[in-house]
Structure 1
Amino acid sequence: MSDLPEFPAIVAPDAARRERATSHHVELPAGYALPAGSLGRLEQLGAWMAACAACSSSSGESSAESSSAESTRLIIVTGEHGIAAAHPEISTLPAELSSLVTEAIESGASPVASTARSLNVDVKLVDANSSTSSGEIDHEDALTVAQLAEYLQKGMDLADAEADQGTQLLAVGDAARGLTTVAATVIGSLCGIEPVKVVGWGSGIGDMAWRTKTAIIRDAMYRVRDDRADALQVLRRVGGADLAVLTGLLAQAAVRRTPVLIDGVGVLTAALCAQMIAPGSSDWWVVASKGNEPAITPALSALRLSPVLDAGISAGQGTGALLAVPLVRHAAEVFSG
């Protein structure tokens, strides 16, 4: 697939700056009573933000910018999956989910909108493919090569726009009917996990729907059994437009040295693909929350990432990422020395 975008080598966050941020904290007067490591994940997040800021700039050159995360944007990518249209029983969510999510957020009525507003986080909604669903993955490819290239580039353009605007922290969420089915298929394929161990109950389906969902994942995984080492092929054949946009966004954010809070099984699926096509990208990400889908565990293990929050949040739309923003901001402030 030579027509697909290629990503340059990823520059890792500044290790020396990470160490200096931690050392600065350790060297505080003894009266603070804060020995090294006593702040746990807060210390890790602060050092990570400092390391990212030290080598981030819109030009890609090293700089000594502030590790503040005040300029934060939440990007929510919505999509349409043909498998959900063909088998509506695999999701309790309405067919018009994408438009409903858009209306609720734009009106300011949704919990995501109100939370973002309280945190002074701008929200950008990205419609991946509302005009045409991805293919039915149990018997046909989700995307053509041309479509995959288009959607990857769409995600890359999003990352470039945020870097050019000086966004200091990206939070990324997902919203799509049938997404947990597709995500489980991609993660199961790339991680070599049998279908029954990655399939979940998604939006709260019943037993019969769970069996149908498992059969779909089984058949889709069988179709790509020889492509497991090729993330782009798996993404094209059993993924979807929204996952391709998210993959391009996450990989290009790492290229542009923009730290990202990832949230949701769809975003995590894209992260797994992005790390495979642009190794080192995961150094620029933090997983905000774990969620309840079984496929999340092997994906986290493959990426060697652990969630900041483990509160059973599986609402999607970047909900967990928003809730993690105050912690990241506070960590960046504490360890900015």
Structure 2
Amino acid sequence: MAPSTSAPTFPPIVPPDEAARSRATELRSSAPTSAGIPAGSMGTLEDVAAWIAACQGAAPAQPLDAARLIIVAGEHGVATAHPEVSALPADFTAQVRQELARAQAPVVDACRAARVSLSIVDATLGKPSAPIDTADALTPEEYDKHLARGMRFADEEADKGTAVLLLGDLGRGLSTVAAAVIGSVCSVEPVKIIGRGSGIGDEAWKTKVSVIRDAMFRVRDDKAVASRVLQQIGSADLVVMAGILAQSAVRRTPVIFDGVGAAAAALCAQMLAPGAAAWWLAASAGTEPATQTALTALGLDPLLDLRLGTGQGLGAVLALPMVRYAVAACSTSV
């Protein structure tokens, strides 16, 4: 079954302001050398500062004071049906969510240090997504509900004046689901798109390849339609994240995302709302081959190269101080 005709849709995406980007670049190029950072000497950070100016529609860019990380957690039926695809304990997602709620997880410390507010979203709502190799992950109605829910989160942040939104993922079995989605959309065979995930061995890797192969076969005729891919072989958390990413672009809120699940959601969000990727920055390419495949398709170059495999948006939180510095340095030197 395909998503219903009542599924939420997105208006045409207004791109970041190119005039503001050009003005920010011009201001930077005319900065006095006495500042100690001549024009061009900050490399990619100058492009990042110009991108923020374009997103804000003002040059030079203004400080990114209000930042929020949204971690979207999900339970995946494929990890229950095939426990070997993940080396993590069965209750891993619940354990981490509990630690996050207790403010005891490492990413919480990173948020404190970077002055980032934190929200944890339970996308599953008590019902894990179905095993994607044998059944549709979601019903059409569930797809609609989760997409609209993600859109509401983006609207709430825009209405609160959040200057930059950070997005992270969490879930046992997530790398399997994400690889199936990315492999389908990008037409890449499973053996070239999956890594070792949580540290699985050879036999488990073979099972993972088989699961992803069977899932991709199920959407072989629908891989150009993001809504069908997400509904059939995605998951609730991927749909929520796609809603957040696409609607943030609608509301002109820049997003920094991190994690293979977020990358898969971004790939689909760009298909749902063409042009939305212009409003996003990829924090890192992580350790999963599927992530780089998705980022290449999106035309996004990761800001960091730390080989982070933790998910939970940690890379996005670590990237934010660098982005803030780029904005400050390229603004104060003009």
- TM bracket, shorter-chain basis: over 0.9
CA distance in 2, matches of 1:304, 1:154: 27
The answer to whether 1:150 aligns with 2:145 is: yes
**Superposition deviation, residue 36 in structure 1:** 3.5
CA distance in 1, matches of 2:178, 2:216: 11
Aligned to 1:195: 190
Which structure 1 residue ranges, 5 or more long, are not aligned? 56-63
1:174 paired to 2:177: no
TM-score, with length taken from structure 2: 0.96
1:277-299 deviation per Cα after TM superposition (whole angstroms, max 9, x unaligned): 10110010000011010111221
Tell me the percent identity: 52
- SS of 1:68's equivalent in the other structure is coil
Shift of 1:92: 1.5
The separation in 2 between residues aligned to 1:235 and 1:157, in whole angstroms, is: 18
Q: Is residue 268 from structure 1 mapped to residue 263 from structure 2 by the alignment? A: yes
Q: Which deviations, in whole Å up to 9, do the C-alpha atoms of 1:9-30 show, x marking residues without a partner?
A: 1111111111111111111123
Q: Indicate whether 1:43 and 2:46 are aligned.
A: yes
Residues 34/334 of structure 1: CA separation in 2 closer, same or farther (3 Å cut): closer
User: Matched residues in 2 for 1:90 and 1:67: separation?
Assistant: 45
Local SS of the residue matching 2:171: strand
1:1-337 maps to which residues of 2 (within 5 A)? 1-32=4-35, 34-54=37-57, 67-336=62-331
In 2, the alpha carbon distance for the partners of 1:145 and 1:274 equals: 17
Q: Are 1:22 and 1:335, in contact at CA under 8 Å, matched by a contact in 2? A: no
SS in 2 for 1:171: strand
Asked whether the equivalents of residues 232 and 277 of structure 1 are also in contact (C-alpha less than 8 Å), the reply is yes
Letter in 2 for 1:289: S
CA distance in 1, matches of 2:50, 2:8: 32
**Quick check: 226-235 or 96-105, which moved more?**
96-105
2:115 maps to amino acid: N
Greater than 6 Å deviation, 4+ residue runs: none
Counterpart CA distance in 1 for 2:62 and 2:323 is 10
2:188 and 2:39 mapped to 1: Cα distance?
38
Contact conserved, 2:86 with 2:200, CA < 8 A, in 1?
Answer: yes
CA–CA distance in structure 1, aligned partners of residues 140 and 95 of structure 2: 30
Q: Which moved more, 1:46-55 or 1:223-232?
A: 46-55
Gaps of 5+ in 2: none
Q: Secondary structure at the match of 1:80?
A: coil
Q: Deviations along 1:13-67, whole A, 9 cap, x unmatched?
A: 1111111111111111233454432211110111111111117xxxxxxxx8963
- Superposed CA offset, 1:63-103 (max 9, x none): x8963211000000000110001111111122222321222
2:313 aligned partner, one-letter code: G
CA deviations on 1:124-183 (whole Å, 9 max, x unpaired) are 000001411111111110011100000000100000000000000101000001000000
Query: Secondary structure of 1:295's match?
Result: helix
DSSP-derived class of the 2:71 partner: strand
Aligned letter for 1:241?
A
Q: Secondary structure at the match of 2:231?
A: helix
Shift of 1:233: 0.4
TM-score, reference length from structure 1: 0.95
Shift in Å at residue 105 of structure 1?
A: 1.6
Instruction: Tell me whether 184-193 or 1-10 shows the greater mean CA deviation.
Output: 1-10
Give distance in 1, aligned partners of 2:218 and 2:62: 45
RMSD of the alignment, in Å? 1.4
